[in-house]
Amino acid sequence: MNWALRKAIFSLAAWFLAVSISILIIVLSPGDPALIMLTGFLQQGIPYDQAVRMVQAYIGFSPAEPWWSKWLRYLLGVVTGNLGVSITYRIPVAQLIANAIPWSIFFVSYSLSLTVILGVLIGIALAYYRSNTIFVRSVTTVLTVFNSIPNWILAAVFFVYIGARWQLLPYMGPYSNDVTPGLNLQFIASVLYHYTLPTMVMVLTSIPGWAFGISAMASAILKEDFITYAKARGLPSSRILWTYITRNSILPIYANIAITFTWLLVGTVWLESQFLLPGLGSLLATTSGARDYPVMIGVYVILITAIVLGALFTDLTYGFIDPRARVGET
């Protein structure tokens, strides 16, 4: 358990530094949001003292104080759950974020599990049927093409064609208007149906990395002596495939789950806004367009927190799956 505690403390330190450095970069850059907001208020004819107080109320720090005091004050706000007030919605940023979080958790974890499962299956198939050149060539070509399509482009194309033009799948909003949100079967079915297209985009653009990684691992393992020995012992090939090859191929790239999680989380900025879904990504995208700085920085900090938690979770579960990780230096 000592090992888990050390991991947690290390993550906390990384989170603190990442948030601090980001805040300092934002505050020290030529576009300090507090100053931009102050200029905006002054242009509206608001007296200077009142404008300074308004900026402080919205974003949590005043444009007049030195950089270290802005940083400390904002960090204190983050720790106490006070992220300022949204300029466009006029409600606390923390409340906006709390409403958005469940949607993003659902979208990202749904896409992540599908990506990993399908990616592993395709990767194992690529390695197992490697003698079938036509199969390997065609699958590899398709994967490379999807690897080269940015996820926001695939989202735009699916939105325009599968959604708006051909009307094959829902392409706007998280559920249809005729269901009542809550824990009923109709609502859940409607949400899953509406998230089909966005999830397809997420999964199709993130599968190649997993498939290529797993297939490289599995190809190496297939050449190992213990596979030959297992075959010689007459073990059924399904057992060799799942217990011997698949499990050993996943272990070395298990940590990639955290990387894919981060990648999908960042992807929500484009995908949630494209398909008009609620969530952290669309909140960031819409408030960026409206220059709503308190919300932007608040969502940014929450996303960093989610990434640190995702990495910690991956590390801890990996330690339980593979005890060797617990004694290693990392």
Partner 1 sequence: MSEKSRNLAKQLKLVFKIFSRSPTLLFSLVVLLVYIIAALVVVLGFVPPLPPYKGGWEYMYQPPSLRDFPWYILGTEYTGRPLLLTIIYGIPKTLAVAFLSALITVGVGTAIGLIAGYVGGLVDELLSLAINVALTIPTYLLALILVVILPPELKTNVLVLAGVLSITAWASLARAVRAQTIALKRREFIDVAKTIGYGSWKIMFDEVLRFMAPFIAMNLVLSCVGAIYGYTGLAFLGLMPMTPDNWGVQIYMAIRGGGALYSDKAILALWSPIITIVLLQYALINIAKAMEDIFNPALRTYLQGEEM
Determine the interface stretch with partner 1 among 79-87, 190-198, 230-238, 300-308 (rule: CB under 8 A).
300-308
- The 49-88 contact track toward partner 1, x by CB under 8 A, reads ----------------------------------------
Helix, strand or coil, per DSSP, at residue 306: helix
Tokens of 211: 């498939």
Least spacing, CB of residue 145 vs partner 1, in Å? 7
State how far Cα 69 lies from the chain centre: 31
* Cα-only R_g, the chain: 24
Q: Which is nearer to partner 1, 168 or 241 (CB)?
A: 168
Q: Using CB under 8 A, pick the residue from 17, 91, 168, 241 that binds partner 1.
A: 17
- The 259-288 contact track toward partner 1, x by CB under 8 A, reads ---xx-xx--xx--x----------xx--x
Q: Which is nearer to partner 1, 179 or 319 (CB)?
A: 319
CB burial string 278-313: b at 16+ within 10 A, e below? bbbbbbbbbbeeeebbbbbbbbbbbbbebbbebbbe
Q: Which is nearer to partner 1, 125 or 296 (CB)?
A: 296
Determine the interface stretch with partner 1 among 12-20, 44-52, 101-109, 239-247 (rule: CB under 8 A).
12-20
Question: Could you say whether residue 147 binds partner 1 (CB under 8 A)?
Answer: yes
Q: Which is nearer to partner 1, 147 or 235 (CB)?
A: 147
Cα distance between residue 184 and residue 128, in whole Å: 43
User: Max alpha carbon distance in the chain (Å)?
Assistant: 86
Least spacing, CB of residue 319 vs partner 1, in Å? 17
Tokens of 30: 């030529």
Distances (CA, A) of 190 to 25, 78, 159, 176, 275: 42, 35, 18, 6, 15
Q: Which is nearer to partner 1, 25 or 79 (CB)?
A: 25
Identify the residue whose tokens are 């940023």: 93
Question: Could you say whether residue 289 binds partner 1 (CB under 8 A)?
Answer: yes
Q: Using CB under 8 A, pick the residue from 307, 314, 315, 325 that binds partner 1.
A: 307
Least spacing, CB of residue 280 vs partner 1, in Å? 11
Phi, psi of 85 (to 5 degrees): -125, 140
Q: Which is nearer to partner 1, 236 or 328 (CB)?
A: 328
Question: Could you say whether residue 297 binds partner 1 (CB under 8 A)?
Answer: yes
- Nearest Cα to Cα of residue 83 among 60, 67, 101: 60
Cα distance between residue 51 and residue 81, in whole Å: 24
Q: Using CB under 8 A, pick the residue from 1, 2, 31, 66 that binds partner 1.
A: 31
Beta bridge partners of 196: none
Helical axes 196-222 vs 93-128, angle rounded to 10°: 40
Q: Using CB under 8 A, pick the residue from 69, 141, 196, 228 that binds partner 1.
A: 141
- Nearest Cα to Cα of residue 42 among 69, 67, 66, 63: 63
Contact (CB, 8 A) for 317 and 255: no
Which helix (H) or strand (E) element contains residue 59? helix 48-59
- The 173-212 contact track toward partner 1, x by CB under 8 A, reads ----------------------------------------
Residues that bind partner 1 (CB under 8 A): 14-15, 17-18, 21-22, 25-26, 29-33, 36, 141, 144-145, 147-150, 152-153, 156-157, 159-160, 164-165, 262-263, 265-266, 269-270, 273, 284-285, 288-289, 291, 293, 296-297, 300, 303-304, 307-308, 311
